[in-house]
Structure 1
């Protein structure tokens, strides 16, 4: 049994904490507020997790919290999509500093932005070719961390998943939860702000993210490279909406999308729509994640699609 520091108490942070506790470890779960209302581990492991308030950009505070920990899991999710350029650099610097000072391994929860515009299923060996500043920011975070790993100063790894869905996601962090599932449960047509409804897209289940993060934090085979979260075969918005309606016993609904020219025009006056321009290619063409390497290396598999959807639908109904 080892101790781990998990940064960020959103859906991924809580899923990682639950997975680590399930493997017999103890966790300090840190968030800026120190408030965590959803604690799925407490029924069976009430004393395994300490929840603390901590600023993930405070290197001294992180270092103190990480003393004696086997790993630091960076599952931070900045509160605004519009402020990544200012929110991420201090967190990246502080987590690397804490990992180097304490010897704790650093597990970074990354994303797929760094791959840029792709024409084939994404694999971990693909080069980083970001299509915009947010992708470049995440790619640089990984490049800098990997350089320190290769210099022998830290142990780092990064896991990458596609758009999240599942129980426990925070507001405006899941297209599938917020736009498709919630709309169908409310009897509305899903309205997608970018992309094509018939483009195949990978959807990554949050508990599977937590399971891989926990494995990487406790398995020495993971250090020094990136890994893709086990993810079910891609589904289009149209297919996903039909699956949700069938499993929820709800009326099927047509998926509406905002035409690209209108989305571009909206970006002139709506900052959030402007930021979406960088990633809209992910929804305009096939955007498919290949997680074969992770599955074969660690013996992990994605939660079956319909099982994951059923659990998510039940959670969204409460």
Structure 2
């Protein structure tokens, strides 16, 4: 029986957590809306138990959570449907409690903080979201942590910065990676010279796996910071150094996002979060390191190398099909 379930497992973070559990020989359950995507990601792993769910159905959620001790919550919604986050969390919490789940870990974001008052930001920084998405994420966290305070379930939140890595498409750096691997123009959201941090996705899974077995982690919120402060331009320059060729850059600012948003709902929703490009939230994760000990973080140089290698290997796999 799988003691750990990953709800919303098919994304990059879910695959990282699954890899960490697999490396420890621990069976796990992956839960998602689409069986095909789950089987593509986890079908070759005998430790993975694959289940689908309907997140609109309390009965389906409870069935997916039955027999599980720890539920890791990675459930995503469309970027233009953030109002769904609190309702999904409420239904999942109620069903998890009914199913006898003992603890839940939410993989969160920096959105609930709003604009940073300090640099770096520690977990006691005020949560004062000035955006709709920040308020929805804060409401999601509040529901979870109130359930812990009420003694219904043990709960914690692990907040992450922007991320990147092999095969990660939902990243500020994705278009630059494609341009570095394939040629063409790198599309970036600017400004690209402001301080920023990124977490390398394969580094996340081992941390989450350790939290599962750390009782003191529950009842609090934690940060996992990136491998240091950098900029998008510095990472693009690292891609150029590793490939040996310069890239053309196309940098989109807030005004252009608004214009693109007239035709593209994702671009439209990025406008309110653009403050993170000009007033970045840089996280302090010293509390997490004090809790679980040293955390392995892949350097940006090595992370870019692995990400580019994966992109180029993907190109090589696609080439025979294209030729045929």
Tell me, yes or no, if the aligned pair for 1:208 and 1:230 is still in contact at 8 Å: no
CA deviations 1:81-118 (Å, max 9, x no partner) are 112223x2332112211332213311111111111112
The aligned runs of 1:181-192 (5 Å cut-off) are: 181-192=177-188
Tell me, yes or no, if the aligned pair for 1:164 and 1:206 is still in contact at 8 Å: yes
Tell me, yes or no, if the aligned pair for 2:186 and 2:247 is still in contact at 8 Å: yes
The aligned runs of 1:231-250 (5 Å cut-off) are: 231-247=226-242, 249-250=243-244
**1:37 offset after TM fit, Å?**
4.8
Query: Structure 1 residues 93-102 or 30-39, which shifts more?
Result: 30-39
1:261 to 255, 263, 271: 255
**1:62 offset after TM fit, Å?**
2.4
CA distance in 2 between counterparts of 1:305 and 1:98 reads: 40
Match of 2:3 in 1: 3
Query: Structure 1 residues 17-26 or 220-229, which shifts more?
Result: 17-26
Match of 2:62 in 1: 63
Which runs of 5 or more structure 1 residues have no equivalent in the other structure?
none
CA deviations 1:267-299 (Å, max 9, x no partner) are 455432321121101112343222222123212
**1:2 offset after TM fit, Å?**
6.4
Match of 1:29 in 2: 30
Q: 1:47 to 1:133 in 2, by over 3 A?
A: same
Q: Secondary structure at the match of 1:81?
A: coil
CA distance in 1 between counterparts of 2:276 and 2:94 reads: 33
Q: 1:254 to 1:129 in 2, by over 3 A?
A: farther
Q: How many residues align?
A: 308
TM-score, length of structure 1 as denominator length: 0.89
Match of 1:309 in 2: 304
Match of 1:81 in 2: 79
**1:261 offset after TM fit, Å?**
3.0
CA distance in 1 between counterparts of 2:2 and 2:263 reads: 50
CA distance in 2 between counterparts of 1:151 and 1:39 reads: 36
Q: Secondary structure at the match of 1:140?
A: helix
1:275 to 259, 269, 276: 269
TM-score, length of structure 2 as denominator length: 0.87
The aligned runs of 1:1-318 (5 Å cut-off) are: 3-8=3-8, 9-35=10-36, 36-39=38-41, 42=44, 46-78=45-77, 80-86=78-84, 88-101=85-98, 102-119=100-117, 120-169=119-168, 171=169, 173-176=170-173, 178-192=174-188, 194-247=189-242, 249-253=243-247, 255-299=249-293, 300-317=295-312, 318=314
CA deviations 1:186-210 (Å, max 9, x no partner) are 2233222x43110111111112222
**1:23 offset after TM fit, Å?**
2.5
CA deviations 1:191-245 (Å, max 9, x no partner) are 22x4311011111111222222222222212101111124201211110101122
Which runs of 5 or more structure 2 residues have no equivalent in the other structure?
315-324
User: What is the root-mean-square deviation in Å for CA atoms of aligned residues?
Assistant: 2.2
**1:18 offset after TM fit, Å?**
1.6
